[in-house]
Amino acid sequence: MGVGGTARKHIENGDEVYALVLGEGQTSRWDNREGADKEAVEDLHKNSKNAADIIQFKEIYFESYPDNRFDSVALLDIVKTVESYINRICPTIVYTHHSGDLNIDHRVTNEAVLTATRPIGEYSVREIYGFETVSSTEWNFGNKENSFYPQKYVDITKTFTIKCSAMSQYETELCGFPHPRSLKMLESLAIVRGAAVGVEKAEAFEVIRLVE
């Protein structure tokens, strides 16, 4: 939802792009994690893989941290998981969630990414950007410090259709408008972000770290 058009644009420019999904994404919908429908988790992973194939990620990786319960896990454990992928892939650019999202998993992920990519020794990550996630970024009302203030815009006019095709694979996540997780909302946001910088459609990002 937040970076699909930009990811595809990287790929079309010859870059290798990877995705890391830290949470299993489903068990918060049940009263307890142990009683969760394991097939629902598997279905969501299949949706994710189908979406990744459309975007043409080099690889998509899955971890199984508890959905909407990242704050119940030691931050160090999540940091070490992210570090393991940083060391394996050696990315130069990392996109992560906005630090002020309503979703606790997004906030913890942001903190884990910043810790795992701290600039010590010969580090590979030169650029870190925060993306917005509809139904999370805009729902954290009441505190201007949580607001999303983009400084980087990527023209996704030519890759937006592919982004929507990938989003359409998320059968359990995709909703009808006016729910934010709808194709109409994704298009509306892309148009607003694009109009801000004079292009048809765009994705917007906060610049977290940029080393030149």
- Quote the pLDDT of residue 72: 95
- Quote the pLDDT of residue 37: 62
The residue-averaged pLDDT of 8-27 equals 91
- Quote the pLDDT of residue 173: 83
Secondary structure of the chain as H, E, C letters: CCCHHHHHHHHHCCCCCEEEEEECCCHHHCCCHHHCCHHHHHHHHHHHHHHHHHHCCCEEEEEEECCCCHHHCCHHHHHHHHHHHHHHHCCCEEEEECCCCCCHHHHHHHHHHHHHCCCCCCCCCCEEEEECCCCCCCCCCCCHHHCCCCCEEEECCCCHHHHHHHHCCCCCCCCCCCCCCCHHHHHHHHHHHHHHHCCCCEEEEEEEEECC
pLDDT (tens digit, 9 = 90+) per residue, 98-156?
999 999 999 999 999 999 999 999 999 999 999 999 999 999 998 888 999 999 999 99
The residue-averaged pLDDT of 180-193 equals 96
- Quote the pLDDT of residue 167: 95
Task: Look at residue 71 and tell me whether its pLDDT is greater than 70.
Answer: yes
- Quote the pLDDT of residue 90: 97
Task: Look at residue 33 and tell me whether its pLDDT is greater than 70.
Answer: no
The chain-wide mean pLDDT, for the chain, equals 93
